[in-house]
Amino acid sequence: MRRIVETGLYIAIWTAVLAFGGASPPFFFPTQFIILGLGVLILSASLRTPGDDNHFPILIPFSLVALVLLQIFPIPVFLGLRSAAPSSALATQRGNALSIAPYQTVSALLLLITYVTTFYLVLWICERREAKRRIVYALLALGAFEAFYGLVQYLTGWQQIFLYVKKYYVQDATGTYINRNHFAGFLEMALPFAITTGLRRASALRRGVQRSETKARSLLSSPELLPLAGLLFLAIAIFAGLVFSRSRMGILSSVVSIAVVLVLAGSSSTSKGIGAVVAALFFLGVMGIVVWVGTDPVMNRFEILGQEYSQAGQNRISIWRDTLGLVRQHPLLGTGLGTFSVAYTSVQTVFLTQLVDHAHCDYLEVASELGLPGAMLLFGSIFWILARAVRRYRKSEDNFDSVVWLGCIGSIAAILLHSLADFNLYIPANAVVLAVTLALAWM
């Protein structure tokens, strides 16, 4: 049954990413159906065989789900958890829901349950250690597809997502995503795994060459050379696709992520010197592609940054300022998960003729919807898993587990940094990939 569940998980992840990142509920529904169905299948199997002793983290995921359930169910008015007055006598008798838009919160709860189920599916699958390797390579394969698709879009001007003709970001690489920033968000989570697996191949290649008396012949005949070249090419292609997305925060997050991975790899006795060589080859390859294609479109994105933020009331900082006001109004339990677009109108002072559906900062948006305790619970747990992975990597030996932990560190670090100025965690496909990465980091 594990192979069935594992195959189903791959299908679900690929479906979510290829279907416009799952940004619209109808496109994400097949992924939800598969993941929740697999969860029910495993749960029913575990009930029939209660002897299985799984030590999976339960407290934090279930606390988040419980918090959102609390936002949905009516709360007696006398408890004083809502400042808004009830709109009718019936509401006075029965109480109000904490969420200002319960329907949106129910939809968001289903998404949250999907992500939590994905996390547990990966934990269950990876009890068989060889499955961890297959999951990593499945993510790399998907990253390769997206990167090459985006490069084709950028280099040829064929701005389509399968049969859909793009209306936005028609000068950028977006892969199968609508938004270039979310395309970059996915690639920045896949890229560290290409680099870390490449580092491991390079370490194996060095050990083989050092043991040989004829080093040049040993280097050229080593079975590690071709896989290493392939992984370096893949990492270069992924980063090039990310650069040509022209997502400024995506590029910055990836550079920081790569630096973190290389610094940690350099601290390992088995990888000293290898990280510098791999980094040099990687950045030379990227620079070669960028110089060949041209740097002007990418550099223009950074050059206009000052102009964008010099216009008062027409930038993300203004939205962040308004969102802070929303957090101050609902500091403990928030406005309800998934309700930002509705709640924001009560504090909106900019873009008055437009719908602002996201805060363009995951930290602020989660704090406004779940309250400060809920945001601390969510992001605190992610940072805790990140720190746990760093600690385990430092103590690990040169094996595939260390490759996975180091890749997860880079992946999580990248998306956490990108979340400062975008809403990747509200894109279902990217949230699913993050759930997979967190589970791999936990194992």
264-320 pLDDT tens trace: 887 665 555 666 777 777 778 777 777 777 666 666 766 566 555 555 666 788 899
Structure tokens at 429: 């496909």
Residue 195's nearest CA partner among 389, 392, 411, 433 is 411
- The amino acid at residue 304 is I
- Residue 379 identity (one-letter amino acid): F
User: How far apart are the C-alpha atoms of 332 and 340, rounded to whole Å?
Assistant: 15
What is the C-alpha to C-alpha distance for residues 172 and 301, in angstroms, rounded to an integer?
11
Place of tokens 């808004």: 84
Check residue 85 and give its pLDDT: 40
Sign of CA dihedral 281, 287, 291, 292: positive
pLDDT tens by residue, 126-180: 888 788 999 999 999 999 999 999 999 998 989 999 999 999 898 899 999 999 9
CA atoms within 13 A on the CB side of 379: 20
3-class secondary structure, 174? coil
Q: What confidence category does residue 78 fall into, taking pLDDT thresholds of 50, 70 and 90?
A: very low
Burial readout 224-252 (b: 16 or more C-beta within 10 A, e: otherwise): bbebbeebbebbbbbbbbbbbbbbbbbbb
54 pLDDT tier (thresholds 50, 70, 90): low
